Amino acid sequence: MRKALIVGINNYPNSPLSGCINDANEIASMLERNEDGTKNFFVKRAIDVQSKGDLKGLIHECFSGNDDIALLYFSGHGYIDSIGGYLVTPDFAPNDYGVSMHEILTIVNDSKCKNKIVILDCCHSGFMGGINTSGQNTATIAEGVTILTASRSDQYAIETDGRGVFTSLLIEAINGGAADVTGHITPSGIYAYIDKSLGPWEQRPVFKTNVTRFLPIRTVKAQVNIEVLKKLTQYFIDSSDEMGLNPSFEPTNSVDVEHKVIEPYADLNNVAIFSDLQKLEGVGLVVPCGEEHMYYAAMNSKTCKLTSAGRHYWRLVKEEII
């Protein structure tokens, strides 16, 4: 079971926001289903939660049980003082700003859920998970916990045209921008996508995790068929090998096609292999050696090899992770 609590708060007294509810609703809609329409998360939307007690209760509920994944997304105001950081609720008062990040981390760390994910789009959100109870700047993240925040602890999270900059990129990432070759979108992939999209002078996302292996939080169409991907270890016995090509791999090198042909002529088995190799080249896993295009590598009897990404997926296939 996968469940997600999606919180968006606009209506703060004297300091309203404009984009948090829209951001929350869009994130919720995207997490509910994978790209192919299959069920993904069971989502609870908490729009304009009014009180600290209500928000804390919802967070407790989200991380109760022993689900495969429990995810919290918050878009609203954040605040820090000399004691700690807070997710601000509309009932804030001096010295009582909202739900403390320390409380949230305690709830998350104590959860029996297998994977716990916290995504915060608010000012000073990078404070989450950075300070332990003794006040030392050391990690306090339990096993299975991942935290992704819009900014460092000393930074503000920016809204542009009524949308959070961080969540706009988060939506792009979850929509497929952060997908790997197999179509899996993981927290680490999302962070990498957002990190590359923000300049060094802008707000910087923060990523903290203590997991042995990421589960995808959404899947989209694979960039290459999984069965083709699994053939990497057939075509390349070792990840450092180069595979020899010749004109028999090129389907147009046939006497049935009116142009100059070169022996050996197109062979159906080699043509099928070459089709796979071209698909793998298209997603950056294979490159021709000594030629710019695979066509010329075949026609000129050159070779092709795995890229660094190709060697990574070769290892995943070899170890039967894929």
Higher pLDDT, 225 or 139: 225
Amino acid letter, residue 81: D
Q: Quote the CA–CA distance of 321 and 202 in Å, as a whole number.
A: 37
* 318 contacts: CB under 8 Å, gap ≥ 6: 233, 239
| 230 close to 237: Cβ distance less than 8 angstroms | no
212-249 as b/e: b if 16+ CB within 10 A: eebebbbbbebbbeeebbeebbebbeebeeebebbbbb
**292-321 mean pLDDT:** 94
Q: Are 74 and 4 spatial neighbours (Cβ–Cβ below 8 Å)? A: no
pLDDT tens digits, one per residue of 101-146: 999 999 999 999 999 999 999 887 767 876 544 445 444 899 999 9
User: CA dist 221 to 96, 175, 184, 217, 274, Å?
Assistant: 46, 11, 9, 14, 22
The domains located in the chain, with CATH, are 2-219 (3.40.50.1460), 226-318 (1.10.10)
Beta bridge partners of residue 148, listed in sequence order = 119, 207
- Reported as a pLDDT band with limits 50, 70 and 90, residue 151 is confident
Interval 7-58: pLDDT, tens: 999 999 988 998 899 999 999 999 999 999 999 999 999 999 999 999 999 9
Mean pLDDT over 142-168 rounds to: 74
Cross-strand partners of 117:
71, 146
Return the pLDDT at 258.
Answer: 63
pTM for the full model? Answer: 0.82
